[in-house]
Structure 1
Amino acid sequence: MAARVLTALFGAPLLLLAAWLGGFYLAAAVALLVLLAQHEFVRLIGDLSPHRGLVFAGGLVLVTAAYLNPGRFPDAALFALLLLYLGAFVFFFPRIAPGSLAGTLLGAVYPGLLAYLYLLRALPDGWLWLLLVLVVTWAFDMFGYFTGMVLGRIRMTPNLSPKKTVEGLAGGILAAVAAAAAGGFFIAGKLDWPFIVLGLLIGAAAQTGDLATSALKRFAGVKDAGRLLPGHGGVLDRFDSMLVSAPLGYYLIQWLILR
């Protein structure tokens, strides 16, 4: 627990500083997170034989596209990525099999969803929206963890993640909704229903990302995705919730609040 807290106290301010600075600094921080997450992801899906170099190249394509033209992400980025991988498939055939190509695409795109952290910052008043999604996701993670540890009785997914409980999920969702409502009051000056919906759905998305990474770790037969972050495991272990909550938060903010 001490290592977990110290890592959070050191890492969170660095991420918040990059988020505040925005621009190239945030894009560089996100690119680093994507590459580290991809390194761990490739290890988890090793049975699919993904091409490591193409996975990393794909991650850089996604982050670069978000940085250069956030308004056209992800359509243009995914098209460029598809062209890159189809070209590699043809040029290196038969060294790259279809299964390997599928694993390579998955290894590039799934961790590459962290590019939405940059896209949130690129929205009007983006610092506030990025901070809101970060805080709501962290609230879900922290309160879900402690609620489950203290009150957890009913296992939610015993075959996938035995320590996850219904009580932990409920505590995390309530914390996410409360954080989103407080953020909405700060941003809009009132308690507004779109922020309540935002907190509820981001909480659900965070849990989905967490369980998806748990499934990958069970598939690979490992406890943690990596060892980079003491007390947390790897980058995927710490940012698994954000892989789903950041994209969903980005679209919900546009559809419900900035419409």
Structure 2
Amino acid sequence: MNATAPTTGPARTRRAGRDLPAAVGVGLALGAVLLLSLFVRPEAFVVLACAAVLWGTVEVSRAFRAQHLRVPVVPPAVGTLAMLPGAYLGGPETLLVAYALTVFAVLVWRLLATGGDHGTPVGVPAVRDVAGGVFVVSYGPLLASFAVLMLAATDGPRRVLLFVVLAVASDIGGYATGVLWGRHPMAPSVSPKKSWEGTAGSLATGAALGAVCLPLLLGGPWWGGLLLGLVTVAVAVLGDLSESMLKRDLGIKDMGDLLPGHGGVMDRLDSLLPTAPVVHLLLLALIGP
């Protein structure tokens, strides 16, 4: 997440109060768990991903319900447990079938619901509830499944590691550059802390790490890594801004409070989720399945 440096002048925006030591500690702990799950027992990564997406799905569903959208929790939760393991064991075809069945379950769930339950006014159109449910299924379980598709490759753990490194580089590079030199807000009405200078830092960090890490981890060309880093960071920034816009519309600062210094689980997945399918497809093009 990019940040702009504090100043008394009008050109800069004030940094938000985050517990930085807690955020760093939680981030390091999550990184250690991720590495262990990837390289000790890859199946553990699937379990970890399922747990994170399940919790994030609950967070988003609760946020929508607070705005009188009757978004179901059970179909997306069951769909998560079908889509992610299905992608790892059966590939894209199994993922597609599991996704389609989950969307159908959302429709059936809303069809069986009665008007006025759970504090929802009778007049709320069903199409809004269904659209919210399909969004939850697509935003969390579906996008996360592409990281599991990467894991299923022969060199899967290294693909996922590269994917995570590039997404995290976007946050760290953007934050550091924004704090030091951020003066021009990128989207002040959506995310006042994100600056153009911070975004430039994210792109530079991602490009450099991509050019180094793709050859080292997967034997790909350096120019492919540079391209991968730039595209990954660009999508990560858009994902961060998209969730910021969603939270602003919902009137909340964070999706949850499970992770000290970070917010909710979905607040940490906002840049990872949209980049997963992009990295998966680019790696297929650059180094093959």
Same fold (TM over 0.5): yes
Contact 2:220 2:286 in 1 (8 A): no
User: Could you tell me the TM-score, scaled by structure 2's length?
Assistant: 0.83
Aligned residues: 259
The residue aligned with 1:111 is 140
The residue aligned with 1:82 is 103
1:72 aligns with 2:93: yes
Q: Distance in 2 between matches of 1:12 and 1:190?
A: 24
What is the identity, as a one-letter code, of the residue corresponding to 1:103?
G
The residue aligned with 2:61 is 42
Instruction: Report Cα offsets for 1:204-252 as digits up to 9, x if no partner.
Output: 1111111111111101111111111111111111121001111210111
Which secondary structure state, in structure 2, belongs to the residue aligned with residue 147 of structure 1? Answer: helix
Instruction: Report Cα offsets for 1:33-68 as digits up to 9, x if no partner.
Output: 101111111123222220122232232232232133
Q: Distance in 2 between matches of 1:11 and 1:23?
A: 16
The residue aligned with 2:37 is 18
1:52 aligns with 2:73: yes
Contact 1:55 1:104 in 2 (8 A): yes
What is the identity, as a one-letter code, of the residue corresponding to 2:172?
M
Q: Distance in 1 between matches of 2:283 and 2:188?
A: 34
1:22 Cα deviation after fit: 4.7
Structure 2 unaligned spans of 5+: 1-19, 118-124
Q: Distance in 1 between matches of 2:55 and 2:218?
A: 36
Q: Structure 1 stretch 183-192 or stretch 27-36: which is displaced more?
A: 183-192
What is the identity, as a one-letter code, of the residue corresponding to 1:11?
L
Instruction: Report Cα offsets for 1:71-97 as digits up to 9, x if no partner.
Output: 425422222223323333444466792
The residue aligned with 1:33 is 52
1:177 aligns with 2:216: no
Cα distance change, pair 55–228 in 1 and its aligned pair in 2 (3 A): same
Q: Structure 1 stretch 162-171 or stretch 42-51: which is displaced more?
A: 42-51
1:191 Cα deviation after fit: 4.9
Q: Structure 1 stretch 199-208 or stretch 96-105: which is displaced more?
A: 96-105
What is the identity, as a one-letter code, of the residue corresponding to 1:38?
T
The residue aligned with 2:23 is 4
Contact 1:44 1:216 in 2 (8 A): no
Q: Distance in 1 between matches of 2:38 and 2:54?
A: 18
Q: Structure 1 stretch 18-27 or stretch 169-178: which is displaced more?
A: 18-27
Identity of aligned residues (%): 33
Which secondary structure state, in structure 2, belongs to the residue aligned with residue 163 of structure 1? Answer: strand
What is the identity, as a one-letter code, of the residue corresponding to 1:66?
A
Please list, as runs of the form range in 1=range in 2, the aligned pairs for 1:127-206 lying within 5 A after superposition: 127-187=157-217, 191-206=221-236
Asked which structure has the greater CA Rg, the reply is 2
Q: Distance in 1 between matches of 2:232 and 2:271?
A: 9
1:226 aligns with 2:256: yes
Aligned alpha-carbon RMSD (Å): 2.0
Cα distance change, pair 191–69 in 1 and its aligned pair in 2 (3 A): closer
Q: Distance in 2 between matches of 1:188 and 1:100?
A: 43
1:98 aligns with 2:109: no
What is the identity, as a one-letter code, of the residue corresponding to 1:85?
V
Q: Structure 1 stretch 110-119 or stretch 154-163: which is displaced more?
A: 110-119
Q: Distance in 1 between matches of 2:173 and 2:155?
A: 27
Structure 1 unaligned spans of 5+: none
Instruction: Report Cα offsets for 1:130-171 as digits up to 9, x if no partner.
Output: 111111111111011111111100110010000100000000
User: Could you tell me the TM-score, scaled by structure 1's length?
Assistant: 0.92
Q: Distance in 1 between matches of 2:218 and 2:31?
A: 25
The residue aligned with 2:242 is 212
